[in-house]
Amino acid sequence: MFPLGSVVLPGGALPLHIFEPRYRQLVADLLAGDQQPMEFGTIMIDRGREVGGGEQRAAVGTLVSIVDVQVSDDGRFGVIAVGTERVRVAEWLPDDPYPLAMVERWPDEPAPVGAPKVDEAMIDGLRQHVERCYALARELGEEVPEQLPMSSADVEEAIYELASWSPTTVADRYAVLAAPSLSERVAVLAAALDDAEAVLKFRGS
């Protein structure tokens, strides 16, 4: 497991410059093994820092798969990984030689009774909401993309993509990741975008 001060969502890219001995060992072990793809877990740090240990960790994380590794002369690694699926931590094990945990894969649960079906129209509404936030941010002089990339045709992937692109907080992204079902994830993201839009409007008033 790799605790981070940020949240990796499924489909999201994770570039890492790995210099701390325990995580250098983690990558070295992956490279020395025969596991394909080379995967490890990421988890958000609730309190504490990425370097040094002793941090408090969240309960829901993301499996990532390494797609590229560069090794420097001094033994440091440059890693690019991609989020694949979310996991729940069942039990933390001793951090020896690096953070370890028993985890379970956590696919989406059924939607609550009466929840609206998540469809393309709902995704399009979220996309427009992100674009409105971008427009407000540009008016404040912030550097944001002129245009959103095309999102996936798969609604589950599209929600994670929009959450990654949205001007929301780390806590908001974690709430999106930890939402039990697809419909609840849409509601969480919509509420986070409402908050982000309100803050941007306040700053511009």
Among residues 51, 81, 105, which one ends one of the domains?
A: 105
Does 128 share its domain with 196? yes
**Residue 150 to residues 47, 130, 154, 162, 173, Cα–Cα distance (Å):** 35, 13, 12, 10, 20
Total number of domains in the chain = 2
Which pLDDT belongs to residue 50?
A: 56
Main-chain dihedrals φ then ψ at residue 88, nearest 5 degrees: -110, 140
* Structural contact between residues 160 and 11, judged by C-beta atoms closer than 8 angstroms: yes
The tokens for 26 are 């983690």
Q: Is residue 115 assigned to a domain?
A: no
- pTM assigned to the model: 0.91
Domain that holds residue 82: 2-105
Main-chain dihedrals φ then ψ at residue 196, nearest 5 degrees: -65, -40
Does 64 share its domain with 37? yes
Confidence category of residue 51, pLDDT binned at 50, 70, 90: low
57: CATH: 2.30.130.40
Gap between the terminal Cα atoms of the chain? 44
Q: Is residue 29 assigned to a domain?
A: yes
Mean pLDDT of 99-127: 93
